[in-house]
Amino acid sequence: MAIFFNENKKIFTMSTNHSSYQMQVNPLGILLHVYYGSKICEQDEMGYLISYRDRGFSGNPYDALTDRTLSLDLLPQEYPTYGVGDYRVPTMELVHADGSYAADFRYESYCIKKGKYQVDGMPALYAAEDEAETLIITLKEYASDVRLLLYYSVFEENDVITRAAKIVNDGESAIVLNRVLSACLDFQYEDFDLIHFHGRHCMERQMERVNLMHGIHRLSSARGASSHHHNPFFILCDKDATEHYGKCYGISLVYSGNFTAEIEVDQVNQTRAVIGIGDYQFHYNVKPKESFMMPEVVMSYSENGLQSLSHQYHKIYRHHLCRGKYQLTRRPILINNWEATYFDFNEEKLLHIAEQASELGIEMLVMDDGWFGKRDSDYSGLGDWIVNTKKLKGGLKPFVEKVNALGLKFGIWFEPEMVNEDSDLYRVHPEWVLQCPNRKPGRSRYQLVLDMGRKEVIDYLFDAICSILDSANIEYVKWDMNRSMSDVYSNILDKESQGQAYHRYMLGLYDLLERIVQRYPNLLLEGCSGGGGRFDPGMLYYSPQIWCSDDTDAIERLKIQYGTSFCYPISTVGAHVSAVPNHQTGRVVPYHTRGVVASAAGGFGYELDLSKVTEEERRLTKIQVENAKKYFDLVNNGTYYRLTNPFQNQTYTAWEFVSEDQSEALVSAVITKVYANGATLIVKPEGLQKDALYQIDGKEQVYSGAALMNGGICIPLPNVLDPNGAEMQSVNSGKEYGAVQYHIVKCSK
């Protein structure tokens, strides 16, 4: 049993295999958060950790009577609110009909059941009845008929606990929520580092580790998408935590829109972390008998460092978030025409690329932006999801048939949420865009944002997408979204309700995505937002892979893919081999290295004009494609190890996949800087069986797992690395950016 309630002491204890989470209802009915960390015993009462002291300027609830040591400003709480004496970052700011800002929730009841709760209209983890257990605690606001339902599901085997919450207005008048976050974690100490993932377009999820200090650290997005700039995931860990050592807490929000995460160290060095829907322009009226559900938060704890924490997230997201035909199966290796042609393509050009691709074993052609409406540049066409017959003369169906005849599947690009002013859709329905009255909306990439909170917009998009998908044999869709939102004002909402517009957009988007995945269960969806601007668990519920970044430079990708791996399974990463000089950086990286980096992904493919590659590169493509097929299981179902940190190690970046039974591993390393007469580079594999014997790349020599993990493998010096990854036939290049791969296989000798 994962959830235990001590009726006498009113203590809730939730346990996973290696962690425990405890709450206690205090005598005033306040739900305290008393523990989250390494596993304790069922009978342990962690409330002893709370120190009660009378501290100046930290007042007391009225019903604490003469007890001046009981203060909401100091107590660790499960769902702290604004207005009644807690001055730290709150989860909720609630305004009653009389204008009072006060939310004081007290315990009312609980229930425990098998299986997983659901989150109304939003993505969430799923589980069979025997895979999770759920606790629902109901709190009631002290002076009104507003209830707060706190949901918890425990995934015992996965060391994961999820949370969500719902506000129910059982009163007679409407309430307003100005801020309503999904979860809070209170700790009674401050000895944490914060690890978070910031970035920008073409440079997402850059890992940054900082010491917490007094005050508030804020990570957020007000861009209408989870964004390139901050990811809705962060880690609090011991200051000395490493990949293999130390206590770490992961906090991940299953939401793809605006978010707020705040981490505060308070006056007495306690730490509070909160996360949920973004609070800018958030203002939600909840009418009598209505409710508001908050998105889910997925928490995981590891006492053995960051590596284990990532493994826990990889497993839970792969097995309990991603869905559909391609959740676990191998995805077709694709060629995407974007960097090969941009908007300048026609049927002949695409078929030429497809022919080359098919000869090399590639399995799918993806036709990117530019196939519809008047779309010869990014100034026009978005919204008109009708085939451009100037480019595809006979229409889509015969074209797809030709692609299929070459032995390739076919995929297509959409950007459903956007519209250009120069489009038929905008000419007919200018009122469908988000736009403030009497103002011209800000443009970005010359496009405006459709109001996804309008049912008729969702219906239009559903019909438009279905009519394309039904018109030909289309097996993949890349779902793009290419701007940050501004001027978020919805014509269908009254002025009191404009604070709902961002969230209603997300609910509409999720509704549309759900309708698409239900109607096309065999379709592979790849999420995208100018690369990884919406790389979050919310989107992974619909699309099991996401285009990781518009930056296809293999060397920059090392950091982007490294940062992404902290929370997201490798199977969810989309990565392509592209042309050199690279279109984003101008850097020239050997073809082999580009393949090694791109193949550390579940969505492996190419994005270049294959008719322009050399014979040697064609040969390498064949090998890369074969390897991607051969190593599919290892890469996607294996355990992923970060062997170096590219933000610290300037010389090389290495990573590894190990099969579940530890019989096989694939170690990859990319040289990022060369030095004259450089030091020997040693990469140390992990996750092997110490006493098992292994061979590398089928060579004669046999090593024990212990030897390889402790001694390591010497990487050939950079100036003797062949840029194309072949055996070191010659001391030829002296070039940076060489790559090596070692296939380690258990043997019986």
What does the binding site for ligand DGJ look like in residue numbers (CB under 6 A)? 338, 368-369, 413, 480, 482, 528, 530-531, 547, 550
Cis check for the bond before 581: say yes or no (omega within 30 of 0): yes
- Give the ranges where 446-523 is alpha helix by DSSP (H): 455-469, 501-519
Exposed/middle/buried for residue 146 (C-beta within 10 Å: 0-12, 13-18, 19+):
buried
What letter represents residue 536's amino acid? D
- Minimum Å gap between C-beta 338 and ligand DGJ is 5
Candidate list 266, 536, 656, 736, residue with the active-site label: 536
Measured from the CB atom, the residue of 344 and 697 that comes closer to ligand DGJ is: 344
Give me the residue whose beta carbon is nearest to ligand DGJ. Answer: 369
Q: How far is the CB of 550 from ligand DGJ (least distance, A)?
A: 4
**Nearer Cβ to ligand DGJ (177/362):** 362
CB 147 within 8 A of CB 141: yes
CB of 547 to ligand DGJ, least distance (A): 5
Nearer to ligand DGJ, 370 or 453 (CB): 370
Minimum distance, C-beta of residue 482 to ligand DGJ, in the bound complex (Å): 5
Give dist(CA 582, CA 580) in Å, integer: 4
User: Bridge-partner residues for 243, per DSSP?
Assistant: none
Report in angstroms how near the CB of residue 526 gets to ligand DGJ at its nearest.
Answer: 10
CA distance 40 to 597: 42
Under a CB-based contact definition with an 8 Å cutoff, are residues 565 and 543 in contact? Answer: no
**Coil, strand or helix at 610:** helix
Residue closer to ligand DGJ, measured from CB, 21 or 338:
338
Query: CA-based angle 87:93:94, to the nearest 5?
Result: 130
Report long-range pairs for 169-173 (Cβ below 8 Å, ≥24 apart).
Answer: 169/145, 169/286, 169/287, 169/288, 169/289, 169/290, 169/291, 170/145, 170/146, 170/288, 170/289, 171/97, 171/144, 171/145, 171/146, 171/288, 172/145, 172/288, 173/96, 173/97, 173/288
Nearer to ligand DGJ, 278 or 531 (CB): 531
User: What's the farthest any 2 CA atoms get from each other in the chain?
Assistant: 85
H or E, element range at 160 = strand 160-169
CB of 3 to ligand DGJ, least distance (A): 43
Beta bridge partners of 414: 479
Neighbour-count burial for 161-174, b at 16+ CB within 10 Å, e otherwise: bbbbbbbbbebeee
Length of the chain: 749
Minimum Å gap between C-beta 549 and ligand DGJ is 8
486: Cβ–Cβ under 8 A, 6 or more apart, which residues? 441, 442, 444
Of residues 296 and 551, the one with the C-beta less far from ligand DGJ: 551
Q: Which tokens is 171 given?
A: 């009163």
Question: Measured from the CB of residue 552, what is the shortest distance to ligand DGJ in angstroms?
Answer: 9
Q: How would you class 183 by CB atoms within 10 Å of its CB: exposed for 0-12, middle for 13-18, buried for 19 or more?
A: buried
Residue type, 120: D
Of 468 and 671, which CB lies nearer to ligand DGJ in the complex structure?
A: 468
Among residues 131, 133, 480, 617, the one annotated as catalytic is: 617
Can 617 be counted among the known catalytic residues?
yes
- Measured from the CB atom, the residue of 413 and 694 that comes closer to ligand DGJ is 413
496 is catalytic: no
| Residues tagged active-site | 536, 617
